[in-house]
Structure 1
Amino acid sequence: MQMKFKLTVIAALASLAGMASAEDLIVKIGHVAPLSGSQAHYGKDNENGVRMAIEDLNAQNIMIGGKKAKFEIVAEDDAADPKQGTAAAQKLCDAKVAGVVGHLNSGTTIPASKIYNDCGIPHITGAATNPNLTKPGYNTTFRIIANDNALGAGLAFYAIDGLKLKTVAVIDDRTAYGQGVAEVFKRTALSKGMKVVDEQFTTDKATDFMAILTAVKAKKPDAIFFGGMDPQAGPMLRQMEQLGMSNVKFFGGDGICTTEVAKLAAGAKTVENIVCAEGGASLAKMPGGEAWKKRYDAKYPNQFQVYSPYTYDATFVLVDAMKRAKSSDPKVYLPELMKTNYKGVTTTIAFEPNGELKNPAITLYVYKDGKKTPLN
């Protein structure tokens, strides 16, 4: 009899425990980036940042509206393709995620931003830099990194004022990102008296640039500006070396500013000619950068690229707004997101009325012995 009573009590307690966990608030955070294709190394790095944030948040036993919140990632692959990007965005809307971190590319983020706006879900990108992203004025769109206006202009100023270069050839990959950053660089360079001696374009799938570079070489530029990503920049640098263009500086935005670019250039000495820009401070100058990077490397060895500190912060910014609103419902916490003043790993994050980051920093980098090194 006593044994039966004990078993009944245990069963009742187990049932209560089940009820308690059933009352936990499940908060789904979406993440989208290319997890397949030539840009998968960026996408995986971005996803790692979100996963690390979710782990850290779950360890904090956060309460939202009186309930213990349990955070989960819903990860989607957009393969850096605009069509797949909008399909992934719709999938996250249908899954009723509380918020989204992403996307990586401007070409996927811009069309996806309309989907998120239409279904009322906030999204924060820590990677897409085309200024057109915030132009529609959607109150669901946020960016926590400097845009191409800052990156392209900063590189042009350094080329002219810092290196005293007189002529440049501009190549872009015809994506929203590549064209955008190249256009800003060109416009700023021309306004400061630099001569653009040639303009060429390629695609974000190409690997053979010999014809383009041969045409550029004939114009004898001091520098090439490339608007694009590292899967193209690496082979381009290798082919520049093969064509004897080892004295030509190679400028680009955050798309080429990776640890991977030196590997993709297969040891070409022209890597030493790179000058690239990233939105945000260098890891050493970020408020929590170096300590965070140690933890990241322990968890995800040899996977760090560029944007994971930003996707980490973006996840915390979403949750910070939910905590202040006492709700994970996007309609309820969205007004709090606009009032963000969050001390993150990357910087103190606050937003302009259009969702752009207030007071964004940029950092210029060069490569010494194949290693990415901040200039400022």
Structure 2
Amino acid sequence: MTAVADAFDWGLLEPAGRAGSVVSDDRILDAMVELESAHLAAWSSLIDVENTATLDATALDRDALLRESRRSGVPVVGLAQALRQQGGTLVHQGMTSQDVVDSALMMVSRDALTGARDALRAAGRVFAALAREHRGTPFAVRTLSQEAETTTLGAVIGGWLDVVSSAVETVDVAEFPLQLGGAVGDGEAFARLAGRPDAAAILRRRISAALGLADPGRAWHTDRSPVLAVARAAASICSAGGRVGRDLALLARDGVATPLHGGASSAMPHKKNPVDAVLLVANGLRVSGPVAVLQVASLSYDARPAGEWHAEWQAWRETLRLAAESASLLQNAADDLVIQARRAPATTTTAPRGAREVDAAIARFERLREGDRS
């Protein structure tokens, strides 16, 4: 393996970039090779040919892949050539570049959003505990930036818990389907090469099972609704983080809720900035750009459009990157949160204002499935 010289983005302007490394080029390349490996095994079995070759992503020449990617306009042409040197002529047989890119990005999407879900759940548990603790803490809220009425801090935190629950629910309904259609999406190459009309359906079933992807029972080359569903889940995480981040920044300004470990200022050493809150808001604002690209690119045409599909790659990856970062930031912000407001003494049996909303938010969060999406 050779190192790619002059890496473009190593995180200088991406303070929370480490969490986003789950969608790095290396992870995407690994997913592409995993897809090719699963296809090779399924294809060899289907046509009854023994193939014991192992495809190894670590042995690939990254610089050679970049050169061929620039020449071909897609990363898969050079990849398939290199992998055939490892696994023989059956590698990539019947597939097209879009099969590999779309399926790999779906694998990365599944892993990134599952990890983000875990972080959201961790943040939600903290918010649930704080909402209970401050169920009766009086708090003056604002509407249209002006002081409105007094509710409770628990009700405010219950609102955070609600947007976290909504983001988790959006992830839970997202599906991550395999893409497998061949040159123009009709699967004809598989049928012709295997000598059986059901070859594409069999391969989809076997490969999706091997990779842990959904079997869509079809190719979705120009139906980009699966991509938009993933983007919607990623954007919901960024929106939830941004919503909570705005409140955290304002509460830190007023001294109500502050980070235990704030960020430094280059000019004012006395400051302790709510860094997680600031970055959460920034990610909530940034995600609209790549989501808009994916929405526009979904107006596809032909069996593969000239430019629309290509425009998706980085936009798709960016939505996942921002979602992974936001979930990590939100978990850290929750763990680092210090509430300064004093709780009111329990002097009455009457439930405090907003108590029903607090209880409902907690109950909704606790109904969410624990652990993974299965």
> TM-score, normalising length from structure 2?
0.22
- Which structure has the larger Rg? 2
> Looking at both structures, which has the greater relative contact order when contacts are Cα pairs under 8 Å and sequence separation is at least 6?
2
Between Structure 1 and Structure 2, which shows a larger proportion of strand residues?
1
Between Structure 1 and Structure 2, which shows a larger proportion of helix residues?
2
